[in-house]
Amino acid sequence: MSIKALIHTLNHLTIGEITALTYRVQECRNEALGLGLTQISSILDEALEHLEHADIKLFRKRIAHAVSRLGHVRDVADPVETLGESAQGLRK
């Protein structure tokens, strides 16, 4: 899963069955770990802990923090991509 896909998945989590949310966050956590993003993986571990304790407010905060950190990683990995379509000519 790419960083962009991780951001998309985490941004589109909805409150629903806890087991489904847990599975999706664990999947993203494992992908982040596989990409060497240990800090983000730890943030997602914290989110899972808050979900387990039904603390939805802190769960959402940790998810938002993970998405923010992923955005920074994506920006560093491909700064031209973050400029949008107007920057397509810069790639050549």
Q: Which residues contact 17 (CB under 8 A, 6 or more apart)?
A: none
> What does each of the 92 residues of the chain score in pLDDT, given as a tens digit?
888 888 888 888 876 778 888 999 999 999 999 999 999 999 999 999 999 998 989 999 999 999 999 998 887 766 544 444 444 443 33
Nearest to 10 by CA among 88, 73, 67, 54: 67
What is the pTM for the complete model shown? 0.74
Q: Which DSSP string do the residues of 14-58 spell out, in sequence order?
A: -S--HHHHHHHHHHHHHHHHHTT-HHHHHHHHHHHHHHHTT-HHH
* Pair of tokens at residue 76: 């560093």
Token representation of residue 63: 């998810």
